[in-house]
Amino acid sequence: MTRKQPRVSLGMPLYNAEKYLKQAFDSLLGQTFDDFEIVISDNASTDGTEAICRAYMKHEPRIRYQRADKNQGSIWNFNQVFELSRGELFKWAAYDDLLHPTFLEECVSALDADESVMWVHPLTVHIDERGEIIPPESDPTIPDGHDCHTLITRAEGTERRDSVHPHERFANVLLGTTWCSDAYGLYRSHALRKTRMHLAVYGSEKVLSGELSLQGQFAEIPKVLFFERVHGDAATSLATAAEQRALINPNGKNWFPFTRLHLLWGHFTAVLRANLKLAERLKCFGVIARYLLQVSKWRRIARQSATGAGMEADSALNNQGASMLLDDTKPESSEPVLTNSAL
């Protein structure tokens, strides 16, 4: 019997995710909006991930599970769950984060209300290993005077991710100093299909957000509905460029080892591919020029490259500024204290 096509697909790229996986499932299955499927791509886990997934599948027909014969790398896994999805709307769901019960309901309503919006995400706070909210004064990613993380009010100058002008949205993504929490937002599937998805490079979610910004607007739900976990076992602890490249593609040599230049090429070709008027395209190239003129940034990158350090090796809060694509790959070991106090 063919299942009805769901409105929303939740893609879970997993690898050795047993530590927080039950909490993640309970968070997703507790949503007030229930017209969704959960699509799992298990990247050949060696822990109890498969057993947990199959146990939930016995009681939840909305879960679909696929297992790879060998670890294909995080990029493949993130793209794979989207390829397997059937929904009109799509969201990547990490094994270690939690959602407020109204996350999907609020995000779906925002997309339904405005066809120019391509993706949406709520306000965000960080939680620790126990599920406790990290206070703003202890979280360096939250700007002074705020109690949560936002991608709208903390824009660079007057450029905002929700601007009606493509070059301003693109500038916010490329020049902004915030981490890409919206990579776990709710997307229009047709907009994602127009992109190149995640490129085979560490940090490619920023290129993907840039491509989406050239298609349409971003919207932010003015409520804290997303709880992103910071924990010592997260794969963001990978410190060297070699480790990060192996994470992206563990089965072969990276054809282009210079991560920053690879990302830069991704942004440049995104502007070339976008359906823009000439004036907007030129302004977007101007944004890339501004990025290249950040002399102090490139000096720091050169120093890191000379030592073999990976991207964001010096970022604060357990390297939380690093790639979202690390969330499905590093093995977990110790047992957690299960709490939902953040909700």
Q: What is the pLDDT of residues 138-147, one digit of tens each?
A: 988 787 788 9
Q: Quick check: 74 pLDDT over 70?
A: yes
Residue 305 phi, psi (nearest 5)? -65, -35
Q: Which of the residue ranges 172-181, 304-313, 321-330 would you say has the lowest mean pLDDT?
A: 321-330
Residue 64 phi, psi (nearest 5)? -120, 135
Residue 73 phi, psi (nearest 5)? 95, 160
Name the residue with higher pLDDT: 300 or 254: 300
Tokens of 270: 């995104």
How far apart are alpha carbons 61 and 247 in whole angstroms? 32
266, 195 contact by CB (below 8 A): no
- Cα maximum dimension of the chain: 60
Q: Which of the residue ranges 99-113, 206-220, 326-340 would you say has the lowest mean pLDDT?
A: 326-340
pLDDT exceeding 90 applies to what percent of the chain? 61
How far apart are alpha carbons 230 and 236 in whole angstroms? 9
H helix and E strand count, the chain? 12, 8
Any bridge partners for residue 166, and if so which? none
What's the mean per-residue pLDDT of the chain? 84
**Residue-level pLDDT at 21:** 98
**Residue-level pLDDT at 181:** 79
Any bridge partners for residue 11, and if so which? 39, 92
- In which band, very low, low, confident or very high, does the pLDDT at 311 lie, cut at 50, 70 and 90? low
Q: Quick check: 317 pLDDT over 60?
A: no
User: What DSSP letter does each residue of 179-225 carry, written as one string?
Assistant: --GGGGSEEEHHHHHTS--S-SSTTTHHHHHHHHHHHSEEEEEEEEE
Q: Quick check: 337 pLDDT over 50?
A: no
- In which band, very low, low, confident or very high, does the pLDDT at 321 lie, cut at 50, 70 and 90? very low
pLDDT tens figures, 93-138? 999 999 999 999 999 999 999 999 999 999 999 999 999 999 999 9
Q: Quick check: 318 pLDDT over 60?
A: no
181, 121 contact by CB (below 8 A): yes
How far apart are alpha carbons 7 and 42 in whole angstroms? 23
What value does the mean pLDDT take over residues 291-303? 74
Cβ-count burial 163-182 (b if 16+ within 10 Å, e if not): beebbbbbbbbbbbebbbbb
**Residue-level pLDDT at 64:** 98
**Residue-level pLDDT at 200:** 86
Q: Quick check: 295 pLDDT over 60?
A: yes
- Measured between alpha carbons, how far apart are the two ends of the chain, in Å? 37
State which CATH number among 3.40.605.10, 3.90.550.10, 1.10.357.10, 1.10.246.90 fits the domain covering 8-236. 3.90.550.10
Question: What predicted TM-score, i.e. pTM, was given to this entire model?
Answer: 0.86
Name the residue with higher pLDDT: 253 or 318: 253
| Sheet with 217-229, side-by-side order of all strands | 63-67, 36-42, 8-14, 89-92, 186-188, 117-127, 217-229, 98-99
Q: Which of the residue ranges 186-195, 286-295, 307-316 would you say has the lowest mean pLDDT?
A: 307-316
Distances (CA, A) of 245 to 189, 255, 335: 28, 10, 28
Which residue, 177, 225, 183, 170, is CA-closest to 326? Answer: 183
**Residue-level pLDDT at 151:** 86
For the chain, give every domain's residue range: 8-236
What value does the mean pLDDT take over residues 45-65? 97
Which residue, 195, 205, 257, is CA-closest to 74? Answer: 205
**Residue-level pLDDT at 253:** 60
Q: Quick check: 294 pLDDT over 70?
A: yes
- In which band, very low, low, confident or very high, does the pLDDT at 244 lie, cut at 50, 70 and 90? low
SS3 166: helix
How far apart are alpha carbons 185 and 179 in whole angstroms? 13
Hey, how many other C-beta atoms are within 10 angstroms of the C-beta on 18?
A: 21
Q: Quick check: 211 pLDDT over 50?
A: yes
pLDDT tens figures, 247-275? 566 666 655 557 788 899 999 999 999 99
